[in-house]
Structure 1
Amino acid sequence: MTIKKVTRQEHDCDYFVALKSYNTGEALHFLPIPKLHLLFIPPFCVLFTAPMEENSSLVAESTLTDAMEAEPQEEERDPESNPLNEPLLKRSRTLSSSPLAIVGAKVSLIESLDYEINENDLFKHDWRSRSKVQVLQYIFSKWTLACLVGLLTGIIATLINLAIENIAGYKLLKVVGYIKEERYLMGFAYFTTANFLLTFVAAVLCVCFAPTAAGPGIPEIKAYLNGIDTPNMFGATTLIVKIIGSIGAVAAGLDLGKEGPLVHIGSCIASLLGQGGPDNYRVKWTWLRYFNNDRDRRDLITCGASSGVCAAFRAPVGGVLFALEEVATWWRSALLWRTFFSTAIVVVVLRTFIEICKAGECGLFGEGGLIMFDVSSVSVSYHIMDIIPVAIIGLLGGFLGSLYNHLLHKILRVYNLINQKGKMHKLLLSLGVSLFTSICQYSLPYLGQCTPCNPSFPGSACPTNGRSGNFKQFNCPKGHYNDLATLLLATNDDAVRNIFSTNTSTEYQPLSLVIFFLLYCVLGLITFGIAVPSGLFLPIILMGSGYGRLIGLLMRPYSDLDQGLLAVLGAASLMAGSMRMTVSLCVIFLELTNNLLLLPITMIVLLIGKTVGDCFNPSIYDIILHLKGLPFLDANPETWMRNITVGELADAKPAVVTLRGLEKVSRIVEVLKNTTHNGFPVVDSDAVVPPVGMAVGATELHGLVLRAHLLQVLKKKWFLREKRRTEEWEVREKFTWVELAEREGKIEELAVKKEEMDMYVDLHPLTNTTPYTVMESMSVAKALVLFRQVGLRHLLIVPKYEAAGAPPVIGILTRQDLRPYNILSAFPHLAKIKGNEKRN
């Protein structure tokens, strides 16, 4: 087996080296390589592009690994060459559209979104021809859609709360009844079976119908708003499975929350409203054509994400700040107003249903899921000694949060190995976690102590035998309660309310708090990543509140701070240590607990927790983005990127594929079939009158034409028999701006006749005449900042000096070219600079 001839073509994501046999000519193995590695490919290699099947990717990956291991005396290996340290999805692999790569889903190639305004002749005419009525209609439509996003998100969130509270409530009532009758084995069997069946429903829906519904969905929303197309993430099937799966998973008692799924649900609602419904049943209303673009869809999804947080925590301001601080890459004042309007609508909807539920119209336990974790009844006063437990909680939150991120990172990789074996293994993993959780939640309360009821405790009666309540009798005699059963045999929301309870300094024993904290640390690690909709907020709150209350118990002789308040601070510190958010978390916790007096110490623990956590690893959402290999562009480029120019990056890529302003149909078809570029520079060299001082024979850069627009040309068969420029009215008769906004279609689906191949196409009216360009001497760091802040898909590199006969554009930068891993792969000497920076 040897390597045969040379052909080079560029692919948006991958290059592959084909190893062919001289005897049969068949490609026996495909070695994937990043495109910037072209400098190191011998001239006798065969380079071609092709999407890889899921099974063949494993062969290609193992073959590449063997080839790398066989290289003699390699100067320097990638520090992440260990398979357990490599991204689950690098550029040489395909993108799983699942929220987590470990869950698995239909694969697709990574594409970027077109947030840049395409200023071609059609767009300019459409914009000039809009009347005042159409402009007002567009503005009114934006606010109407923002209102509908908040309205539907609030209604669906309420229904999810009602379903969870009623299903879990009836389940726990039945279990408590068996325990009261001392039928412990029957109670265990019922408890375990009910949880098993609920998890089974959620997992089957995610595994078989919508793998994109598994996980929280927040990392993919963050990636989408950064400019990355995440296929199938916001479809109608995903929305339905997310709703039903969230109900089943949370009602099953798994250590996960509905907060992350609600953010995803809000984003799905926004996306579907913006495009007029599901793909197969879209509404063709005229006013919806204004939203058939990535920019307006991005703003709607931002409103949906903030509405989801508001619906989860009843925190309208916190929802807006969450979108601003965590998920949104681009922000402006107009978007601030619309997100705030959406969250205000959510609060009105939730408040309306709360009043209905108070009248007993929501079933047996429907009211509970809508109540905040209110700790406003306790007075807050600070002393100098109170700084000690607050600082300890902040330090522990930062350290434990980073440790949680590290361990979860490793566990997700192990889950990936399990889930690669097929759907049955994904389902069995989910059911196994459910079984383990049920056994722990039912059996560990027997380790708790039976404590006599204290008449001085405020609130509910003691003991209680219902689904909710702060003093559960469980297996204790009359007049006693089991503190561990109070925390474990309850829904996650009720467990948080119980551990946040104030003015109950002797309610929980130290051993019970230690068991509770350790159990939820284990459950939090093994539950996230299974094939069910899951959120991270509530598991982290449960873990943090456990050690926060324990510290309050230990510091009781030295501090007067209420233990319930310290539990709130523990939850806040761990969220800051894991998620690395500060401002939005501070406001969310204030709105969640209804106690403004907590503001100073909440700010302290959040700042300490984030600072300590940043010393060890990135946030949990950034880790998931890295695991999926999503090309997310950070706000701050690496400092070593200033040591390389964009011109050097252009030299490491193949020559730019350009088109002429008047191009043959055959050339367009050839380019579309042989490349997967989504943008092509349009140059004019015929009859160009150069400006004064420029050499004769210079080539004009007319602009950039998109692949989608070329497909529309071939689809509409807008061909010319002679080589001539078209008039503006000819273009408007054939195309509309709305048609050019469509991105669907493939070159393989279009049929071009043989006699049409010799015809011409005038690309001038379809070309974006004002693309963003940078000089070849610009540093990569500066280009990355521009690329991210403007929201580009293509960035043209132009030469510093113009010369006769020289091309006006020397390269195109895409998102993949700006990824640090790809740059370091092509320029290994930069890795040494990066290592020196870390040591310094």
Structure 2
Amino acid sequence: EWDRWLLMGLIGTAVGMLSFLIHQIIDSLMELKWDLVENYLQVSKRNWTWSMGANVVIYLSTGQDGSIHMTWLCVLGSGLAMVVLSSGSVLFFCPGGSPSGLPEIIGYLNGTSIQHLFNIKTFLGTFVSCVLAVASGLFCGPEGPMIHLGALLGCGLSQLQLDTLGIHLPIFTRFQNSADKRSFITAGAGAGIASVFRAPIGGLLFMLEEVSSFWDIRLAWQTFFCCLMATFTMDLLSSSLFGFVYRGHFGFFEAEKRIIFWNLLDVNILAFVPTILLGMLGGLLGALFVSLNIKINKLRMQFFNSIPKLSLRKTSKLILLKFCISPHLFLCVAAAALLVENGKQGITYLFKRGTHEEFGFTSLCTALAFYFILSCWTAGSAVASGLVIPMLYTGALYGRIIGLILVSIFGVQTNEYGAWIDPGLFAAIGAASFFSGVSRLTISLTVIMVSMLS
């Protein structure tokens, strides 16, 4: 069995490297986009300074206000370009990569045969679409596509066959059967979710609870080992590289970059009252989200099916998706920091403790309304995208609102007895509640949240 364990380790390492590559490209594209915006603002300011001369003090504000519209067009144009390329890669290159691939993986691992689910075109199309969709500013994350990509790596490395290119390598031939193929696909998919959240146990439990129905003890341990290797590889590479720039300290894991809640809180029985309220609210909003998303997708399919030509149908899907970039219209409102920020980074902001005055009710409610509606619109659209980041973000928004309500009632508590009254703490609870309300996950979700916060 040594070769099976070796292959599991190789799959986990490959998935970790792929996850690192995806996150680095996304961060680089987003940094490039905002650097262009910043440079444009600086150039605009210098032009006004040079042209106005002595009257610069009078006209400086006019120059800055005038540049806001062009800056908005720059952000909107770059986002639309990425969305067009992202949607086009799955519409015209690999339809099997849209929207996330997770339902198809679940169907395959439970006995359904799906064509073109595991080939090189699907891998490349999903990779490109996922990177561009997340970097464009759509309300989505890379989690679903990473599960699909992990499953693709598990299938490809175990079978070592590329029918598209006519490649068949005579290595690990004893694993080239349907039973072992499904086992390695299961491990690769679990490694995909584990590498995103740095949660190897969470990846294993996610596969047990949500994805696959056929398990044994041996496969569980091997899947956990694969998830562990993916998480370790992701952390090891992230320790020294950011945006493909070497920052030193290879293999040095900085705790402050990962741990959000440093100290444990003394539990007060009163904390269970708003927690139960958040749980009920998460279930209700989760049911509303699923119901609304189903209706939107049904209307979307009816509209697309009414178009006779396939080329026009694909083009209309691409055009319809552009409306999801509309949050960039709100760069001037108080909620802009929440709407245009990277979803993962925004969640970190919302989870921070001791930031009672960081965001007000107006900005949180505005961001919640737009994020809920537009993430519901994005889910099921023609891009390779995931729902985990939108679910966590939406729950964190209304959880923080509940926390601010408690702070407004009881005030800012500095003693140990009232330390639980913190908007950041309830943002984390709200994120878990909405995630559970939409996905119906319990155990694996708890492990993933603990891995994220500590």
**Which TM-score bucket, shorter chain as reference?**
0.7 to 0.9
- What are the within-5 Å matches in structure 2 for residues 70-149 of structure 1? 139-149=1-11
Is residue 411 from structure 1 mapped to residue 305 from structure 2 by the alignment? Answer: no
Within 1, Cα distance between the matches of 2:194 and 2:109? 19
Note the alpha carbon deviations across 1:200-252, whole angstroms, 9 max, x for none.
11111111110001111111111111111121111111011111111111000
More strand by share: 1
After TM superposition, give the deviation of residue 529 of structure 1 in Å: 1.6
**What is aligned with 1:262?**
146
- What are the within-5 Å matches in structure 2 for residues 370-519 of structure 1? 374-420=259-305, 421=307, 422-434=310-322, 436-440=323-327, 442-448=328-334, 484-519=335-370
The partner residue of 2:27 within 145, 165, 172 is: 165
Within 2, Cα distance between the matches of 1:437 and 1:544? 20
TM-score where L is the length of structure 2: 0.86
Within 2, Cα distance between the matches of 1:530 and 1:286? 40
Is residue 174 from structure 1 mapped to residue 60 from structure 2 by the alignment? Answer: no
**What is aligned with 2:252?**
none
- Aligned partners of 2:339 and 2:371 also within 8 Å: no
After TM superposition, give the deviation of residue 379 of structure 1 in Å: 4.4
Note the alpha carbon deviations across 1:617-665, whole angstroms, 9 max, x for none.
xxxxxxxxxxxxxxxxxxxxxxxxxxxxxxxxxxxxxxxxxxxxxxxxx
Judging changes above 3 Å, is the alpha-carbon distance between structure 1 residues 169 and 516 closer, same or farther for their aligned structure 2 residues?
same
Within 2, Cα distance between the matches of 1:424 and 1:593? 46
- What are the within-5 Å matches in structure 2 for residues 645-684 of structure 1? none
Note the alpha carbon deviations across 1:784-819, whole angstroms, 9 max, x for none.
xxxxxxxxxxxxxxxxxxxxxxxxxxxxxxxxxxxx
- Aligned partners of 2:198 and 2:451 also within 8 Å: yes
**What is aligned with 2:382?**
531
**What is aligned with 1:543?**
394
- Aligned partners of 2:161 and 2:169 also within 8 Å: no
After TM superposition, give the deviation of residue 355 of structure 1 in Å: 2.2
Within 1, Cα distance between the matches of 2:169 and 2:402? 59
Judging changes above 3 Å, is the alpha-carbon distance between structure 1 residues 194 and 358 closer, same or farther for their aligned structure 2 residues?
closer
- What are the within-5 Å matches in structure 2 for residues 554-633 of structure 1? 554-556=405-407, 557-558=409-410, 560-594=420-454
Counterpart amino acid of 1:433? L
More helix by share: 2
Counterpart amino acid of 1:534? S
Counterpart amino acid of 2:89? L
After TM superposition, give the deviation of residue 418 of structure 1 in Å: 2.9
**What is aligned with 1:329?**
213
Within 2, Cα distance between the matches of 1:384 and 1:289? 58
Note the alpha carbon deviations across 1:438-461, whole angstroms, 9 max, x for none.
332x3324232xxxxxxxxxxxxx
**What is aligned with 1:307?**
191
After TM superposition, give the deviation of residue 371 of structure 1 in Å: 9.2
Judging changes above 3 Å, is the alpha-carbon distance between structure 1 residues 287 and 379 closer, same or farther for their aligned structure 2 residues?
closer
Judging changes above 3 Å, is the alpha-carbon distance between structure 1 residues 588 and 427 closer, same or farther for their aligned structure 2 residues?
farther
**Alignment length (residue pairs):** 414
- Aligned partners of 1:234 and 1:271 also within 8 Å: yes
- Aligned partners of 1:275 and 1:282 also within 8 Å: no
Is residue 297 from structure 1 mapped to residue 185 from structure 2 by the alignment? Answer: no
- Aligned partners of 1:202 and 1:249 also within 8 Å: yes
Q: Which has the larger radius of gyration?
A: 1
After TM superposition, give the deviation of residue 312 of structure 1 in Å: 1.0
After TM superposition, give the deviation of residue 490 of structure 1 in Å: 1.6
Judging changes above 3 Å, is the alpha-carbon distance between structure 1 residues 282 and 584 closer, same or farther for their aligned structure 2 residues?
farther
After TM superposition, give the deviation of residue 175 of structure 1 in Å: 2.3
- Aligned partners of 2:351 and 2:396 also within 8 Å: yes
Counterpart amino acid of 1:489? V
Within 1, Cα distance between the matches of 2:174 and 2:349? 49
Judging changes above 3 Å, is the alpha-carbon distance between structure 1 residues 329 and 163 closer, same or farther for their aligned structure 2 residues?
same
The partner residue of 2:135 within 243, 246, 251 is: 251
Within 1, Cα distance between the matches of 2:340 and 2:167? 47
Within 2, Cα distance between the matches of 1:275 and 1:504? 51
Within 2, Cα distance between the matches of 1:184 and 1:390? 41
- Aligned partners of 1:162 and 1:362 also within 8 Å: no
- Aligned partners of 2:151 and 2:185 also within 8 Å: yes
Within 1, Cα distance between the matches of 2:436 and 2:257? 20
**Structure 2 residue ranges without an equivalent (≥5):** 46-63, 248-254, 411-417
After TM superposition, give the deviation of residue 425 of structure 1 in Å: 3.6
Note the alpha carbon deviations across 1:382-427, whole angstroms, 9 max, x for none.
2222111111100000111011111111111111123333344434
**What is aligned with 2:50?**
none
SS in 1 for 2:266: coil
Judging changes above 3 Å, is the alpha-carbon distance between structure 1 residues 371 and 310 closer, same or farther for their aligned structure 2 residues?
farther
After TM superposition, give the deviation of residue 347 of structure 1 in Å: 1.9
- Aligned partners of 1:313 and 1:372 also within 8 Å: no
Within 1, Cα distance between the matches of 2:299 and 2:257? 36
- Aligned partners of 1:236 and 1:278 also within 8 Å: yes
TM-score where L is the length of structure 1: 0.47
Greater RCO (Cα-Cα under 8 Å, separation 6 or more): 2
- Aligned partners of 2:25 and 2:243 also within 8 Å: no
After TM superposition, give the deviation of residue 378 of structure 1 in Å: 5.0
Taking only the aligned residue pairs, the percentage that are identical comes to 29
Counterpart amino acid of 2:153? I
- Aligned partners of 1:430 and 1:532 also within 8 Å: no
After TM superposition, give the deviation of residue 528 of structure 1 in Å: 1.2
Note the alpha carbon deviations across 1:284-336, whole angstroms, 9 max, x for none.
44453322221101100110111001111111110011111110101111001
